[in-house]
Amino acid sequence: MLPLSLPLLALLVSFAQCQEYDYDYQPHSMSMPSGPNCNQECTCPVTFPTAMYCDNRKLRFVPVVPKGIKYLYLQNNMIEEIKAGVFDNVTDELRWLILDNNQITNPKIEKGTIDKLTALEKLFFSFNNLTEPVIPPSKSLDELKIMNNKLSKFPAGLLNDKVNLTFIYLQHNELTSDAIGGAFKGLKGLLSLDVSYNKLKKLPTGLPNSLEILYADHNDIESIGSGYLNKLPNLRYLRISHNKMVDSGIPAGAFNVTSLTELDLSFNKLQSIPEINEQLEQLYLQANEINKFDLSSFCKYTSPLNYSRLKHLRLDANNITHGSMPPETSNCLRVASDVMFE
Ligand SMILES: *[C@@H]1O[C@H](CO)[C@@H](O)[C@H](O)[C@H]1NC(C)=O
Ligand SMILES: *[C@@H]1O[C@H](CO)[C@@H](O)[C@H](O)[C@H]1NC(C)=O
Ligand SMILES: *[C@@H]1O[C@H](CO)[C@@H](O)[C@H](O)[C@H]1NC(C)=O
Ligand SMILES: *[C@@H]1O[C@H](CO)[C@@H](O)[C@H](O)[C@H]1NC(C)=O
Ligand SMILES: *[C@@H]1O[C@H](CO)[C@@H](O)[C@H](O)[C@H]1NC(C)=O
Ligand SMILES: *[C@@H]1O[C@H](CO)[C@@H](O)[C@H](O)[C@H]1NC(C)=O
């Protein structure tokens, strides 16, 4: 077998080289000298030989990736399909796979492709036609971006063993609360989750307590569970703007947790200011239906040490004015440099 395959390989190589000479098509960045270990459709800079740039080339397929490539750029093509075998020589080497802005659908991702990548750290799959996520077996995955697809499913347990997964971006999809019910369990290192522009009716459940940033703007959320935030002791930034939050959907004390520094509830249907904790620094409530200013929402108790740390408060596009604030407001909102009413 071996003696036969060697000449065959030599023949293939010389054929490939010959083809390259005859080939009219010039790779995108010819100015960059390409290393020897590169697919001829792409460019691998001599100064960065582990990277293969195949972006902006009108490609319809993912090209075969040679051994040694760790960073693969395939964004802005017309790729619809990933054929089995293209990653076979980099299954334990490929760290970054950038596929943004193509036309990939789930049925056209063959077995023996992404499901073989055991070292992947970043998977960028935004602006494609996926209906469910494609997750590599790599335990080193740290960043997952699948924005602007058609995701309507996110099976529970898919991310179970991703101990280093830190950032997840899923905005502009069709995810419902049920669809993501068990999706994020077990992610011990998750810091940031963005599920804005989906079809959620409530905030995601089963989130790991490491989470610091949760963005859920532009959904159909009407309420927050009492104690929801108590299960997220590290959450600092929470955005629920452009939803359908109403007063009755906010149980007493739901936002009264010490970890939050920023809370965005703008563009909802609130008629009163929810109770917040003294430690909150930014509160966005513009474009609601708020018609009274209740100081006890900010301070239940005022003393030299007990006052609200709020710096920015937006109340514009509501039904209240500066005149709605009682005189003792300045004792409570002592550091609020910026309170906007209009
Ligand atoms: C993978 O590497 C082997 C040996 O290094 C080579 O013979 C084979 O052609 C490569 N396969 C692909 C798909 O690049
Ligand atoms: C991907 O989605 C776009 C926009 O919805 C559509 O125009 C295009 O035909 C789809 N491509 C494939 C391969 O499904
Ligand atoms: C997770 O990240 C840490 C720190 O970067 C690294 O030492 C560890 O090997 C990673 N774990 C996996 C499974 O990749
Ligand atoms: C927030 O909770 C603390 C106890 O954790 C309580 O003392 C305080 O009055 C509450 N603040 C508001 C505005 O309800
Ligand atoms: C007043 O502030 C101190 C120090 O921040 C805090 O320990 C205490 O719980 C506060 N008391 C009330 C009634 O909020
Ligand atoms: C706005 O506030 C005024 C004065 O408090 C009240 O008379 C009016 O009904 C409110 N309008 C709305 C739409 O809530």
How confident is the model at residue 32, as a pLDDT?
61
Q: Which atom of ligand 3 is nearest to the CA of 140?
A: 14
Tell me the CA distances in angstroms from 216 to 153, 158, 197, 235, one per residue in order. Answer: 17, 21, 7, 13
* Domain extent for 90: 41-130
Average per-residue pLDDT in the chain?
A: 90
Is 284 among the domain residues? no
- Residue of the nearest CA to atom 14 in ligand 3? 140
Q: Which atom of ligand 6 is nearest to the CA of 292?
A: 5
Question: How many folded domains does the chain comprise?
Answer: 1
How confident is the model at residue 268, as a pLDDT?
98
Is 103 among the domain residues? yes
- 301 compared with 90, residue with greater pLDDT: 90
Q: Give the list of residues 6+ apart from residue 18 with CB closer than 8 angstroms, or none.
A: none
Share of the chain above pLDDT 90, in %: 84
Is 34 among the domain residues? no
Tell me the CA distances in angstroms from 209 to 14, 160, 185, 239, 253, one per residue in order. Answer: 57, 15, 10, 17, 19
Which run of H or of E encompasses 12? helix 2-22
**Residue 340's beta-bridge partner residues?**
314
Is 97 among the domain residues? yes
Domain CATH code at residue 45: 3.80.10.10
Is 254 among the domain residues? no
Indicate whether residue 83 lines ligand 1 (CB < 6 A): no
Is 271 among the domain residues? no
Is 74 among the domain residues? yes
Is 50 among the domain residues? yes
How confident is the model at residue 113, as a pLDDT?
98
**pTM (2 d.p.):** 0.88
Share of the chain above pLDDT 70, in %: 90
Question: What does the pLDDT look like over 6-64, one tens digit per residue?
Answer: 333 333 333 333 333 222 233 444 456 677 789 999 999 998 999 999 999 999 999 99
Token couple for 101? 């802005």
As a whole number of angstroms, the longest Cα–Cα distance in the chain is 93
Indicate whether residue 131 lines ligand 2 (CB < 6 A): no
